[in-house]
């Protein structure tokens, strides 16, 4: 725990306040000439959000990781949850596993894997095995799972994903990542050996041996399959040991997310996963219903990011307007501290995640009014929160919930 | 290398993009009543810059070193080049030597020196030897150079500067700085002994002995000179071991500077010095001509700083207007990422460098538009880049050049 974290921790008092963090995935955007010099937030009709802003809100922009760094969903959300994503790096295998809805335990080592095609000499001829259908992947994972439940004392868990993708989890004592990939990264080469990144690390050495044993046992089971007679493993890493959200903030947190990836990320920090809702309106209804059972609500909305990734300006505007239409359900039982933001920007013009600081809006009895008319990127540039690192967001929410004692006399 | 630097380094990919950093030295300023409440940037007529801004730019302000710290040209430029000037401190002797156009090698120890007047007892009676004319300085340096080419195995290089100033470089194995000054800092005292700052450091001890030997051999050669019969040495330091710009950013960089100091600073980080151009128009023309030969162009313009130092508002406005008039030459072959900024502020009202964060403008296909009409200090306060430390500037330029992979999944 950093010195500053221990200061926050010592100052924390429980107040019974309700806090809600609403994440419009990839919300942030940029104004370009092709978009009439407007961002989707600026172009969208958001009467409910506008009314909230005019009732008194603080705005600002957040740097998700560090200047210029474009985060994936993992680091983006870890930062929102207040965990420095440079300090708490989560391996791709872990994220992929969480994304498939698998619960990981501390110490588990997970790898993303994909079926591939090998020639008679054992060289990779197709790194994705012609993207076999998902059903084939499920059947092959079934074959491996049936025979490979354990390697020595270590439990092996194999979960199929979409098309050629699956994940492998090793569960046992004394395991650690990360390891190098077995994917040679191009065709014509043999499957590589998974090597410890730190050659002195006993846990990594143990996993290197497990991976080698796994290949030895699994490859013969696939020998007669075509085109998927081999597999490659990447992002071999352990579930990091992360202090829970409740340990960190003294807040019991619930996650209202629809997509497995975000449920998984919330679980990684110990939030309670709330199953059921499948639309933003249902998520808000469930927040209202469960209001008294948790202190903190993480509510995740995916469609802004999807539209950004597709480079679809109209769809992103529509996603924001759909969100706005549902907002009154949440506001009917307004939390004491409400934040609406993104985990990063996904500009339509970039057709993907970006480094641009995402806009953030904070509403509470003590947030003060920035005297802005709307919640937009351009407006947020002038807000009282300024530009700050996303990892401080929950601290600001706690402050607005009066959860911090005065520091010093 | 810091943890964050190693993250940036791992994410870096080469893209072939062209980046240009145009530095108007001392550009930043403040609005005062005496100046009609305008900064020079606000008062200047800059039609070309205005058009660039309206085409879509991001603006902000940069803290050159740390809040309240006024940088010299060395730290100001090191920060712009992305080297934390607190971590990479470059001795004044090194900067002065670079400023005289002398190429330093790794491990060289350089000192700034000035001729002084000593009385019969060896006490300093004039620390600047009545500011002797430059020609006299050159003659005296010639006398010393002729007799003092080597001290043991160490090469000695003596280069005259302006008036009473010169520099001394020791080149040999196992040398290190810094050492204390031999300048007693006031008249009436004897020349001080140069002492290792770290008494245990073998390299510093070796240089201390070299300086003592240098005095022993040099003072007799000046004994009959008047008024310059002695000299004082300050800022005795070694050329620091700095990772090159190309190592840090995977960008081949060229420096288009007119003044030796800025060429020297660029060389310190391994940029290629482009000789020839002597006006900003010629510098831009050379950028266009050399466009395909480098990835990164550092273009330095001195006259904004000069006018600020002189406290001459009109001259600073004129310097900005002259720059604006030449700008179309650069824009005819617009780099993929263009930054226009200063290395620090030199407010007319301060008649010198200051700590005020300098305004910065960034243009790229993905910078977005801040919807500002002009590039000014007051406008930059509302820009999407916010106020950030100058050492992150090149990281933002790399991001805009799409030189970073996504961080995490």
The share of chain B scoring above pLDDT 90, in percent, equals 88
- d(CA B196, CA B206) in angstroms, rounded, equals 9
**B388 in reach of chain A (CB within 8 A):** yes
Q: What is the pLDDT of residue A105?
A: 84
- Partners of B390 on chain A (C-beta within 8 Å) are none
Query: Which residue of A41, A59, A67 is the best one to mutate when testing the B interface, meaning the one whose CB has the most B CBs within 10 A?
Result: A67
Interface A:B, Cβ pairs < 8 A: 109
**Is B128's pLDDT higher than 70?**
yes
**A69 in reach of chain B (CB within 8 A):** yes
Mean pLDDT of all residues in A247-256: 97
Of the candidates B395, B350, B355, B264, the residue with the CA atom closest to the CA atom of residue B64: B355
Domains identified in chain B and CATH numbers? 3-88+242-400 (3.40.720.10), 94-238 (no CATH)
Cβ separation of B407 and A70 shorter than 8 Å? Answer: yes
- Partners of A349 on chain B (C-beta within 8 Å) are 365-366
Is residue A185 classed exposed, middle or buried when 0-12, 13-18 and 19+ CB atoms within 10 A define those classes?
exposed
Cβ separation of A68 and B370 shorter than 8 Å? Answer: no
The beta-carbon contacts of B122-125 under 8 Å, at least 24 apart in sequence, are B122/B190, B122/B191, B122/B230, B123/B187, B123/B188, B123/B189, B123/B190, B124/B184, B124/B186, B124/B187, B124/B188, B124/B189, B124/B190, B124/B191, B124/B230, B124/B232, B125/B187, B125/B188
Nearest CA in chain B to A359: B384
Confidence bin at A92 (pLDDT 50/70/90): confident
Query: Helix, strand, or coil here: B190?
Result: strand
Single pTM value for the model = 0.88
Instruction: Please name the residue ranges forming H helices in A232-312.
Output: 245-249, 260-268, 280-290, 303-309
Nearest CA in chain A to B395: A68
- d(CA A8, CA B323) in angstroms, rounded, equals 49
- Model confidence over A278-334: pLDDT tens digits? 999 999 999 999 999 999 999 999 999 999 999 999 999 999 999 999 999 999 999
Q: What is the pLDDT of residue B1?
A: 59
> Chain A closest CA to B406's CA: distance in Å?
5
Q: Which two tokens stand for residue A307?
A: 């539209």
**B391 in reach of chain A (CB within 8 A):** no
Residues contacting residue B362 through CB under 8 Å, at least 6 positions apart? B57, B58, B59, B60, B337, B338, B339, B385, B396, B397, B400
What is the average pLDDT score of chain A? 95
Nearest CA in chain B to A378: B370
- d(CA B170, CA B192) in angstroms, rounded, equals 19
Nearest CA in chain B to A96: B409
CB nearest to A74's CB, from B56, B404, B408: B408
Cβ separation of A386 and B386 shorter than 8 Å? Answer: yes
Cβ separation of A68 and B384 shorter than 8 Å? Answer: no
**B383 in reach of chain A (CB within 8 A):** yes
Instruction: Give yes or no for a cis peptide into B317 (omega within 30° of 0).
Output: no
CB nearest to B382's CB, from A73, A90, A381: A381
Nearest CA in chain B to A358: B384
Cβ separation of A96 and B409 shorter than 8 Å? Answer: yes
Is residue A194 classed exposed, middle or buried when 0-12, 13-18 and 19+ CB atoms within 10 A define those classes?
buried
Confidence bin at A1 (pLDDT 50/70/90): low
Q: What does chain B come to in residues?
A: 409
Minimum mean pLDDT range among A87-91, A196-200, B379-383: A87-91
- d(CA B98, CA A34) in angstroms, rounded, equals 47
Q: What is the pLDDT of residue B100?
A: 83
**B1 in reach of chain A (CB within 8 A):** no
Cβ separation of A378 and B387 shorter than 8 Å? Answer: no
> Chain A closest CA to B53's CA: distance in Å?
12
CB nearest to B366's CB, from A92, A95, A347: A347
- Partners of B366 on chain A (C-beta within 8 Å) are 30, 347, 349-350, 354
Query: Helix, strand, or coil here: A40?
Result: helix
Q: Which two tokens stand for residue A176?
A: 């650690």
CB nearest to B395's CB, from A68, A85, A95: A68
**A180 in reach of chain B (CB within 8 A):** no
Query: Which residue of A355, A382, A391 is the best one to mutate when testing the B interface, meaning the one whose CB has the most B CBs within 10 A?
Result: A355
> Chain A closest CA to B62's CA: distance in Å?
13
- Partners of B398 on chain A (C-beta within 8 Å) are 68
A58, A365 in Cβ contact below 8 A? no
CB nearest to A95's CB, from B383, B386, B409: B409
**Is A220's pLDDT higher than 70?**
yes
Cβ separation of A31 and B383 shorter than 8 Å? Answer: no
- Partners of B396 on chain A (C-beta within 8 Å) are 67-68, 355
- d(CA B240, CA B94) in angstroms, rounded, equals 9
- Model confidence over A310-322: pLDDT tens digits? 999 999 999 999 9
Q: Which residue has the higher pLDDT, B130 or B100?
A: B130
Nearest CA in chain A to B383: A381
- d(CA A346, CA A302) in angstroms, rounded, equals 11
ipTM, two decimals: 0.87
- Model confidence over B228-278: pLDDT tens digits? 999 999 999 988 888 999 999 999 999 999 988 898 899 889 999 999 999
Q: What is the pLDDT of residue A322?
A: 98
A25, A304 in Cβ contact below 8 A? yes
- d(CA A343, CA A26) in angstroms, rounded, equals 6
- Partners of B392 on chain A (C-beta within 8 Å) are 66-68
> Chain A closest CA to B371's CA: distance in Å?
8
Cβ separation of A86 and B3 shorter than 8 Å? Answer: yes
Minimum mean pLDDT range among A348-352, B160-164, B307-311: B160-164
Q: What is the pLDDT of residue B382?
A: 96
For residue A188, the number of C-alpha atoms closer than 13 Å in the C-beta half-sphere is 1
The share of chain B scoring above pLDDT 70, in percent, equals 100
Mean pLDDT of all residues in A374-400: 98
Q: Locate tokens 């005019």: which residue? A: A54
CB nearest to B407's CB, from A37, A65, A96: A65
CB nearest to B4's CB, from A66, A347, A356: A66
> Chain A closest CA to B399's CA: distance in Å?
5
> Chain B closest CA to A96's CA: distance in Å?
8
- Partners of A85 on chain B (C-beta within 8 Å) are 407-408
Question: In chain A, count of helices (H) and strands (E)?
Answer: 14, 14
CA torsion, ordered A72, A73, A75, A81, to nearest 10 deg? 160
- d(CA B228, CA B230) in angstroms, rounded, equals 6
Cβ separation of A357 and B384 shorter than 8 Å? Answer: yes
- Partners of B369 on chain A (C-beta within 8 Å) are 30-33, 37
Paired strand residues for B276: none
Q: What is the pLDDT of residue A313?
A: 98
**Is B173's pLDDT higher than 70?**
yes
Confidence bin at A252 (pLDDT 50/70/90): very high
Mean pLDDT of all residues in A200-210: 96
- Label each residue of B99-126 as H, E or C: HCCCCCCCCCEEEEEEEEEECCCCEEEE
Q: Which DSSP category does B345 fall into?
A: B
Cβ separation of B370 and A349 shorter than 8 Å? Answer: no
- Model confidence over B57-91: pLDDT tens digits? 999 999 999 999 999 988 999 999 999 988 888 88
Q: Locate tokens 């072959």: which residue? A: B333
- d(CA B6, CA B2) in angstroms, rounded, equals 6
- Model confidence over A112-145: pLDDT tens digits? 999 999 999 999 999 999 999 999 999 999 999 9
Q: What residues of chain B, 314 to 373, have a C-beta less than 8 Å from chain A?
A: 365-371
- Model confidence over A97-120: pLDDT tens digits? 887 888 888 889 999 999 999 999
- Partners of A67 on chain B (C-beta within 8 Å) are 388, 392, 395-396, 399
- Partners of B53 on chain A (C-beta within 8 Å) are none
* Helix, strand, coil share (%) of chain A residues, nearest 5: 35, 20, 45
Q: What residues of chain B, 5 to 34, have a C-beta less than 8 Å from chain A?
A: 7-8, 11
Confidence bin at A242 (pLDDT 50/70/90): confident
């Amino acid at each position: 725990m950093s010195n500053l974290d221990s200061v926050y921790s010592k100052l924390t008092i429980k107040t019974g306040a309700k806090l809600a963090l609403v994440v419009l995935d990839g919300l942030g955007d940029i104004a370009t000439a092709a978009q009439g010099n407007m961002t989707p937030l600026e172009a969208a009709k958001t009467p409910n959000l506008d009314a909230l802003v005019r009732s008194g809100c603080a705005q600002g922009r957040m740097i998700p990781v560090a200047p210029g760094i474009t985060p994936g969903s993992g680091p983006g959300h870890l930062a929102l949850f207040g965990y420095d994503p440079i300090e708490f790096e989560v391996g791709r295998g872990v994220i992929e596993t969480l994304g498939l809805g698998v619960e990981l335990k501390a110490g588990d080592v997970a790898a993303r894997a994909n079926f591939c095609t090998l020639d008679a000499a054992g060289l990779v001829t197709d790194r994705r095995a012609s993207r076999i259908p998902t059903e084939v992947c499920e059947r092959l994972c079934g074959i491996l799972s049936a025979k490979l439940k354990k390697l020595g004392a270590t439990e092996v868990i194999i979960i199929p994903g979409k098309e050629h993708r699956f994940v492998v989890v090793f569960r046992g004592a004394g395991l650690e990542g990360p390891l190098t990939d077995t994917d040679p990264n191009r065709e014509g080469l043999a499957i590589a050996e998974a090597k410890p990144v730190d050659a002195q690390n006993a846990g990594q050495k143990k996993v290197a041996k497990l991976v080698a044993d796994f290949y030895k046992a699994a490859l013969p089971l696939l020998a007669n399959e075509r085109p998927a007679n081999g597999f490659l493993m990447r992002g071999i890493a352990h579930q990091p040991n992360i202090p829970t959200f409740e340990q960190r903030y003294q807040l019991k947190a619930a996650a209202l997310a629809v997509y497995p990836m975000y449920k998984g990320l919330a679980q990684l920090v110990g939030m309670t996963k709330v199953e059921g809702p499948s639309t933003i309106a249902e998520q808000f209804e469930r927040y209202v219903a469960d209001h008294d059972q948790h202190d903190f609500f993480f509510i995740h909305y995916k469609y802004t990011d999807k539209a950004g990734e597709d480079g679809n300006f109209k769809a992103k505007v529509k996603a924001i307007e759909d969100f706005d239409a549902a907002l009154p359900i949440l506001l009917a039982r307004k939390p004491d501290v409400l934040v609406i933001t993104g985990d990063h920007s996904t500009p339509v013009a970039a057709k993907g995640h970006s480094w641009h600081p995402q806009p953030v809006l904070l509403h509470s009895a003590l947030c003060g009014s920035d005297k802005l008319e709307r919640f937009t990127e351009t407006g947020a540039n002038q807000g009282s929160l300024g530009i700050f690192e996303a990892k401080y967001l929950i601290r600001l929410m706690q402050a607005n919930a009066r959860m911090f004692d005065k520091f010093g006399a």
